[in-house]
Chain A
Amino acid sequence: MDTSRAHVVLDDADIGRAIRRIAHEIVERARGSEDLVLLGVPTRGVPLAERIAGAIASTEGTAVPVGSLDITLYRDDLRLRPARALEYTSIPPEGIDGKTVILVDDVLFSGRTVRAALDALNDLGRPAAVRLAVLIDRGHRELPIRPDFVGKNLPTAIAEEVRVEVAEIDGVDRVTILSAPDDAGNGR
Chain B
Amino acid sequence: MKHLLSAGDLTRDDAVLILDTAAELATVTDRSVKKLPTLRGRTVVNLFFEDSTRTRISFEVAAKRLSADVINFAAKGSSVSKGESLKDTALTLEAIGADAVIIRHGASGAPHRLANAGWIGGSVINAGDGTHEHPTQALLDAYTLRRHLRGGRGDLAGVRVTIVGDVLHSRVARSNVLLLRTLGAHVTVVAPPTLLPLGIQTWPCDVSYDIDSALPDADAVMMLRVQGERMRAAYFPSANEYSRAYGLNSDRLHAMRPDSIVLHPGPMNRGMEISADVADSGRSVIVEQVANGVSVRMAVLYLLLGGNMKGQG
Q: List 25 A-B residue pairs with CB atoms under 8 Å apart, sorted by A's residue number.
A: A73-B37, A74-B36, A74-B37, A74-B38, A78-B38, A78-B307, A81-B307, A81-B308, A82-B307, A82-B310, A83-B303, A83-B304, A83-B305, A83-B306, A84-B307, A85-B17, A85-B20, A86-B21, A86-B25, A87-B24, A88-B24, A123-B31, A123-B35, A124-B32, A125-B32
CB within 8 Å of B: which of A37-92?
A: 70, 73-74, 78-89
Q: Considering the chains assembled together, what is the distance between the CA atoms of A21 and B217 in angstroms? A: 59
- Majority-rule SS of A interface residues: loop
Contacts beyond the supplied A73-B306, A86-B25, A124-B33: 15 A-B pairs with Cβ under 8 Å: A73-B36, A73-B37, A73-B38, A73-B302, A74-B37, A80-B308, A82-B310, A83-B302, A85-B20, A86-B20, A86-B21, A88-B24, A89-B24, A89-B27, A123-B36
The residue on B at minimum CB distance from A70 is B24
When distances are taken between beta carbons in the complex, the residues of chain B under 8 Å from A124 are 31-33
Give the residues in chain B near A86, CB-CB below 8 Å: 20-21, 24-25
B125 → A minimal CB distance (Å): 14
Distance in angstroms between the alpha carbons of A82 and B309 in the assembled complex: 7
Tell me whether A12 is interfacial, beta carbon within 8 Å: no
The yes or no answer to A119 lying at the interface (CB within 8 A) is: yes
Query: For A79, A82, A83, A84, which residue has the most chain B Cβ atoms within 10 angstroms?
Result: A83
Q: Give the A-B contact count at a CB cut-off of 8 A.
A: 48
Minimum C-beta distance from A4 to chain B (A):
35
Q: Which residues of B, 23-49, contact A by the 8 Å Cβ criterion?
A: 24-25, 27, 31-33, 35-38
**Chain B interface mostly:** loop
When C-beta atoms are compared, the residue in chain B nearest to A123 turns out to be: B33
> Do residues B308 and A82 form an inter-chain contact, with CB atoms below 8 A?
yes
Distance (Å) between the CB of A28 and the closest chain B CB? Answer: 32
B31 to chain A, nearest CB (A): 6
Residues of chain A with a CB closer than 8 A to B27's CB:
89
B4 → A minimal CB distance (Å): 13
Closest partner residue, chain A, to B24 (CB atom): A86
CA distance in complex: A123, B28 (Å): 10
The 8 A CB mask of A13-51 against B (1 = contact, 0 = none) is 000000000000000000000000000000000000000
Contacts of B25 in A (CB 8 A): 86
B307 neighbours in A (Cβ, 8 Å): 78-79, 81-84
Cα distance, A122 to B267, chains bound together (Å): 38
Output the least CB separation between B13 and chain A (Å): 10
A26 to chain B, nearest CB (A): 26
Residues of B within 8 A of A70 (CB): 24
In the bound complex, residues from chain A placing their C-beta under 8 Å from that of B310 are 82
* A79, A86, A87, A125: most-surrounded residue (chain B CB, <10 A): A86
Flag if B33 contacts A85 (CB, 8 Å). Answer: no
Q: What separation, in Å, do the CA atoms of A81 and B303 have in the docked complex?
A: 11
A85 to B1, CA, bound (A): 13
- Quick one: closest B residue to A80, CB to CB? B308
Q: What residue of chain B has the Cβ atom nearest to residue A75's Cβ?
A: B38
Contact A119 B37 (CB under 8 A): yes
CB of A126 to closest CB in B, whole Å: 10
Chain A residues positioned under 8 Å from B17 (CB to CB): 85
A84–B78 CA distance with the chains assembled, in angstroms: 37
